[in-house]
Amino acid sequence: MPKFPSMARDGLANTQQRRNLQHATHTIRSKRATVVDEVPDWEELRVRGAAVKDQVLAHLDDYLVQLEASLTASGATVHWARDADEANRIVRDLVQAKEVDELVKVKSMATQEIELNEALEEVGISAWETDLAELIVQLGHDRPSHILVPAIHRNRSEIRDIFREEMGAVGTPAPDGLTDEPTDLAEAARRHLREKFLRAKVAVSGANFAVADTGTLVVLESEGNGRMCLTLPETLISVVGIEKVVPTWEDLDVFMQLLPRSSTGERMNPYTSMWTGTTEGDGPQEVHVVLLDNGRTSVLADEVGRQALRCIRCSACLNVCPVYERAGGHAYGSVYPGPIGAILTPQLRGTSSPLDQSLPYASSLCGACFDVCPVRIQIPELLVHLRTQVVDEHRGGRPSAEGVAMRTASWMFADHRRYEKAQRASTMSSKLLGERTTLGRLPWPASSWSGARDAPAPPRETFRQWWVRTHGSESR
């Protein structure tokens, strides 16, 4: 994949998408600010949330063993998956053993991360997304662009068109004369999905949290689709990242306060589903839990980088990020966009590709992401840490244009005579720019820097020149 700046070009040129994103992110962030202001001990909660996650990460092996024991004792079957291939194979085998060719899914970022839908499709199994936004993305043959609202880049009339054109091909069609009113769109989705819920024998879910001492998995959602997936099918397969574990219900309490306020700007999310293994005659009779590593233990090995594993996927950092708001989620080339994607993706995937090397630079380092993060992840610090790592990986070999420019600047700043000469040259060159106040696009290699920036034109006079002109001498 190309670098982030090239990937962002489409988003920047898409005025409609930028308008949709700006409207949606600003609405959610102001709702969030209002409900967060209501909580007098919000900072304490953030500190507690970070402390619980750090405690889990410091003893992750112990908590995972405890979780496995609790899950097994409650009737669930635990599977361990080192990577995406292993996780996909486990799920595929479980589904094929049930001799079905379709399943329903409740939103799960872990399954998007491992591209489970594609892996199932290869063997003829259709995985139907049931979250409304995920359904829009799936029907539109699109990719998610936000953690919480994957179809945030679409507006109502685009969604109506997708429903009209695509629903009929894979199930109950959209009603005739479907409008772009939210209630009509929701009703069309409900009718389309209900048929799938009632038919499905297998469901796949993720989990927001996994409580180690009881083996309870927790999903928070807004539409009730999760509850349908988690109760109606006979077999439930949950794919859960190993960092989702929390020690006890008391710890869960902290996140139940932090997550809804940070994500949807609500005091409480509409649906919280919790399940602990199997119960005879009630809900799925076969429950499988796939505990997924897929790069998480390498993230854990980095003492600075591991704080990214505290993330509870609330998406608050996306909603305040000026870079995300303009570039859009697709530019990050990963299921995790925005500030958290810029730090998590290169750690999970490594920095071998041009895209993953560029992600730590996809930020203005303004710090707004840290201010809103409910688990106090120092995203700017981590971005700088990863940038250092990327630079270190490229030491030696042919120097980059940026490296040469920095070395030249260092040579120039090291001697005041050179510096003054450079200043004089720059003021003379500014006269060539006429009335222009910005440099505009520079020739290669400087174009790679100037292509995305409005650098101000150099002043026509330096401070020293001004001083001599107005005071007649260089000395006081």
* Contact between 65 and 212 (Cβ < 8 Å): no
Q: Which amino acid is at 239?
A: V
H helix runs in 144-220, sequence order: 156-170, 182-199
Q: Give the nearest distance from C-beta 358 to ligand SF4 in angstroms.
A: 19
Give the torsion sign (CA, 319, 323, 324, 325): positive
Shorter beta-carbon distance to ligand SF4: residue 205 or 378: 378
Residues 354 to 413 in contact with ligand SF4, rule: CB under 6 A: 372-375, 377
114 near ligand SF4 (CB under 6 A): no
Shorter beta-carbon distance to ligand SF4: residue 88 or 315: 315
Segment interacting with ligand SF4 (CB under 6 A) among 289-297, 310-318, 402-410, 428-436: 310-318
Shorter beta-carbon distance to ligand SF4: residue 162 or 308: 308
Cα–Cα separations (whole angstroms), residue 247 to 56, 63, 99, 109, 448? 7, 7, 36, 22, 48
Q: Give the nearest distance from C-beta 371 to ligand SF4 in angstroms.
A: 9
* Contact between 236 and 287 (Cβ < 8 Å): yes
Can you tell me the distance from the alpha carbon of 324 to that of 146, in angstroms, rounded to the nearest whole number? Answer: 9
Count of positions on this chain that bind ligand SF4 (CB under 6 A): 14
Q: Looking at 314, 321, 327, 368, which residue binds ligand SF4 (CB under 6 A)? A: 314
Q: Is 199 left (phi over 0), alpha (psi -120 to 50) or beta?
A: alpha
Q: Looking at 45, 203, 312, 348, which residue binds ligand SF4 (CB under 6 A)? A: 312
How deeply is 411 buried, as exposed, middle or buried, from its count of CB atoms within 10 A (0-12, 13-18, 19+)? exposed
Q: Looking at 87, 236, 299, 311, which residue binds ligand SF4 (CB under 6 A)? A: 311
Query: What does the block give as tokens for 223?
Result: 């539409």
Segment interacting with ligand SF4 (CB under 6 A) among 122-130, 298-306, 308-316, 358-366: 308-316
316 near ligand SF4 (CB under 6 A): yes
Q: Give the nearest distance from C-beta 241 to ligand SF4 in angstroms.
A: 12
Query: What does the block give as tokens for 254?
Result: 């902290």
Q: Binding string to ligand SF4 for residues 261 to 290, with x set by CB under 6 A, is what?
A: -x----------------------------
340 near ligand SF4 (CB under 6 A): yes
Can you tell me the distance from the alpha carbon of 390 to that of 403, in angstroms, rounded to the nearest whole number? Answer: 13
32 near ligand SF4 (CB under 6 A): no
Q: Looking at 3, 192, 313, 330, which residue binds ligand SF4 (CB under 6 A)? A: 313
Buried b or exposed e, range 231-263, using 16+ CB within 10 angstroms: ebbebbbbbbbbbbbbbeeebbebbbbbbbbbb
Q: Is 224 left (phi over 0), alpha (psi -120 to 50) or beta?
A: left
First to last CA, the chain: 58
Q: Give the nearest distance from C-beta 449 to ligand SF4 in angstroms.
A: 28
Q: Give the nearest distance from C-beta 153 to ligand SF4 in angstroms.
A: 18
Shorter beta-carbon distance to ligand SF4: residue 148 or 162: 148
Which residues, listed in sequence order, are joined to residue 287 by a DSSP beta bridge?
236
Shorter beta-carbon distance to ligand SF4: residue 91 or 148: 148
Interface ranges with ligand SF4 (CB under 6 A)? 262, 311-317, 340, 372-375, 377
